[in-house]
């Protein structure tokens, strides 16, 4: 069986992944708050953990992996959106409009992530479906002395959990100094966080021992993970922006509620996304949703390819250049596999993914497979990485346009072999320059030669070179 190694944020080291139960590998990933369309940054953790899900299914079997990703449908932003609709004349109670907005946004999310080739998790719980479990967990925390009621709120007492800050590597004093914490007179400690808070009659709310209210954000994931995966499960994932306070708080309340468990054994965090080297921001005019790109005619597979080209623990920079290069590369790959059935996933691809999900290295192996014209392994490897070849094949690739590239690739190989003997590389350089002028990226290495059409690919010019 393939040995998988994963970087564990908790231990700050790469570890051999040994599931608690190989017949039931369990993973929880924090999902979206459903108040609007998913932006491009939201797509990165989806694609990172979708790739991990595919790897786990490949290694342990599709029926031996349970993947849970939640929807947060209790949130002030959702309430604000619903209130704006009501003020604009929408019919129905505010609670009904909140439900309507959540349903609508979840449909959008499913459609957009499907377009990126992401598999649906086994379970997609909504926070509103697990309110009784949250109330029960909060009651248990109060009984154990880890939480307290104050002015209609219930708060977790951070000082009651001695390991608080271990995941993010911060002390409580550092956290207070370096973060914005809600200053409230009813808090015993500025870092104490809300487990339950009051709700008005108009806003969504539920009856509880502490009055009508709604849960805090952090308790939602703890309760859902416990109910669906148990006291201890294998992997917890999300963006590194969630490490503190969300994941830190999850660990504290989960371990205090269930002291015999370990919550998550492995913690994985993906780095953030930038656009053209800058943080995505509406004020900079570089903010866009996944749907914006899809509506511009950019295939979801291209978005996926750009995302996977960077290792998940490195910042990912979305650029138009990368987008165009990804389109051309996938175009080339598809010309190689056209009409050919899949065989086995290339060992190099599997090894790269098993080495802390090194998708960048896996894509380098795909390039080698394309150079070697190993269509069966290339197709199987692309499928493992989540690329929907049937979608792209329809009207995107014309295999005939690559016949000229194949001929020129063979010619360049012959010229390079001759030059290695004569030490005269002038003919190689001349042909290479002509190829570049015709919009072809020339990749030459010890492994061989690969010609990849770029954004300015001009097949007519290439015909004149043959």
Mean per-residue pLDDT pooled into runs of 10, the chain (466 residues):
96 97 98 93 97 98 97 87 82 82 94 96 96 98 98 95 91 60 80 94 89 95 98 97 96 97 97 92 87 94 96 96 90 87 96 98 96 94 90 58 76 89 90 87 81 72 76
Does the annotation list 256 as a binding residue?
no
What is the Cα–Cα distance from 420 to 129, expressed in whole angstroms? 68
Decide: 69 and 34 in contact? Cβ < 8 Å: no
Task: Give the pLDDT confidence score for residue 317 in this predicted structure.
Answer: 96
Does the annotation list 301 as a binding residue?
no
The helix or strand, by DSSP H or E, that contains position 405, with its residue range, turns out to be helix 403-422
- Give tens-digit pLDDT for 254-298: 999 999 999 999 999 999 999 999 988 888 888 899 999 999 999
Q: Domain 5-270, what fold? A: Rossmann fold (3.40.50)
Task: Give the pLDDT confidence score for residue 13 in this predicted structure.
Answer: 97
Structure tokens given for 130 = 């697990």
Does the annotation list 218 as a binding residue?
no
Residue 174: other Cβ atoms inside 10 A: 13
Structure tokens given for 137 = 């967990």
Q: Domain 274-385, what fold? A: Isoleucyl-tRNA Synthetase; Domain 1 (1.10.730)
Task: Give the pLDDT confidence score for residue 200 in this predicted structure.
Answer: 85
3-state secondary structure of 339: coil
Q: How far is CA 134 from CA 75, 130, 178, 231, in A?
A: 15, 6, 29, 14
Decide: 369 and 446 in contact? Cβ < 8 Å: no
Domain boundaries, the chain: 5-270, 274-385, 400-453
Which residues, at least 6 apart from 369, have a Cβ–Cβ distance to it below 8 Å? 336, 346, 377, 378, 381
Task: Give the pLDDT confidence score for residue 181 in this predicted structure.
Answer: 59
């Amino acid at each position: 069986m393939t040995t998988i190694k994963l970087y564990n944020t908790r231990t700050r080291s790469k570890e051999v992944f040994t599931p608690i139960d190989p017949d039931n590998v369990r993973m929880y990933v924090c999902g979206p708050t459903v108040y609007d369309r998913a932006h491009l940054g939201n797509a990165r953790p989806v694609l990172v953990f979708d790739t991990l899900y595919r790897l786990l299914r490949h290694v342990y079997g599709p029926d031996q992996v349970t993947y849970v990703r939640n929807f947060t449908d209790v949130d002030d932003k959702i309430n604000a959106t619903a209130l704006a609709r009501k003020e604009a004349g929408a019919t129905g109670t505010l609670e009904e409009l909140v439900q309507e907005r959540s349903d609508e946004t979840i449909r959008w999310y499913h459609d957009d992530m499907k377009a990126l080739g992401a598999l649906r998790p086994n379970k997609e719980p909504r926070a509103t479906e697990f309110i009784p479990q949250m109330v029960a967990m909060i009651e248990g925390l109060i009984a154990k002395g880890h939480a307290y009621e104050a002015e209609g709120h219930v708060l977790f007492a951070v000082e009651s959990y001695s390991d608080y800050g271990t995941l993010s590597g911060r002390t409580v004093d550092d956290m207070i100094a370096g973060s914005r914490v809600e200053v409230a007179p009813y808090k015993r400690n500025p870092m104490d966080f809300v487990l339950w808070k009051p709700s008005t009659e108009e806003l969504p709310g539920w009856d509880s021992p502490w009055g009508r209210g709604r849960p805090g954000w952090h308790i939602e994931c703890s309760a859902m993970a416990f109910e669906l995966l148990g006291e201890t499960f294998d992997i917890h994932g999300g963006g590194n922006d969630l490490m503190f306070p969300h994941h830190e708080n999850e660990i504290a309340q989960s371990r205090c509620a269930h002291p015999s468990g370990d919550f998550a054994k492995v913690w994985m965090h993906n780095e953030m996304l930038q656009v053209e080297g800058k943080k995505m921001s509406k004020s900079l005019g570089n903010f866009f949703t996944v749907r914006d790109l899809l509506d511009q005619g950019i295939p979801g597979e291209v978005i996926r390819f750009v995302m996977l080209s960077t290792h998940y623990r490195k910042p990912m920079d979305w650029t138009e250049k990368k987008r165009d290069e990804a389109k051309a590369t996938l175009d080339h790959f598809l010309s190689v596999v056209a009409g050919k059935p899949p065989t086995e996933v290339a060992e190099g691809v599997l090894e790269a993914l098993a080495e802390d999900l090194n998708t960048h290295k896996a894509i380098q192996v795909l390039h080698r497979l394309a150079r070697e014209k190993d269509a069966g392994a290339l197709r199987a490897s692309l499928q493992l990485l989540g690329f929907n070849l049937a979608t792209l094949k329809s009207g995107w690739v014309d295999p005939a346009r690559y016949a000229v590239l194949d001929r020129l690739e063979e010619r360049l190989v012959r010229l390079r072999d001759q030059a290695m003997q004569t030490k005269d590389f002038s003919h190689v350089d001349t042909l290479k320059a002509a190829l570049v002028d015709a919009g072809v990226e020339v990749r030459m290495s010890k492994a061989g030669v690969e010609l990849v059409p770029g954004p300015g690919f001009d097949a007519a010019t290439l015909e004149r070179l043959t």
